[in-house]
Amino acid sequence: MSLLDMISADYLTFVTKENLQNTTIYWDVAGVSSALFSIETCGRVDINFTTNVAHVFYEVRLGDCSNRCTTIRKIVSYNTESTPTVKVHMNPLECSSYGDVWISWDNTTYRLEVGTGHVLHQDVFVAMDNMDNNAIVERMTIHSSLSAKWKIGKALTSIS
Residue 7, pLDDT score: 35
How far is residue 60's CA from residue 99's CA, in Å, rounded to a whole number? 15
Measure Cα distances from 68 to 11, 91, 132 in Å. 27, 6, 28
Does 12 map to a domain? no
| CATH number of the domain where residue 61 is located | 2.60.120.200
Does 17 map to a domain? no
Does 15 map to a domain? no
Query: Which amino acid belongs to residue 131?
Result: M
Q: Are 111 and 131 in contact (CB under 8 A)?
A: yes
Q: Which one, of 59, 159, 155, lies nearest residue 119 by Cα?
A: 159
Does 37 map to a domain? yes
Alpha-carbon Rg for the chain, nearest whole angstrom, is 15
Does 21 map to a domain? no
Could you write out the three-class secondary structure of 71-140? EEEEEECCCCEECCCEEECCCCCECCCCEEEEEEEECCCCEEEEEECCEECCCEEEEECCCCCCCCEEEE
129: domain range?
26-155
Q: How many domains would you assign to the chain?
A: 1
pLDDT tens per residue across span 53-87: 888 889 999 999 988 999 999 888 776 666 668 88
Measure Cα distances from 31 to 35, 49, 108 in Å. 12, 13, 12
Does 41 map to a domain? yes
Does 19 map to a domain? no
Does 10 map to a domain? no
Residue 1, pLDDT score: 31
pLDDT tens per residue across span 116-159: 988 888 899 999 987 887 788 888 888 888 888 888 875 444 44
| Residues in a beta bridge with 150 | 14, 39
Sorting pLDDT into bands at 50, 70 and 90, what band is 8? very low
How far is residue 42's CA from residue 96's CA, in Å, rounded to a whole number? 8
Neighbours of 148 (CB within 10 A): 24
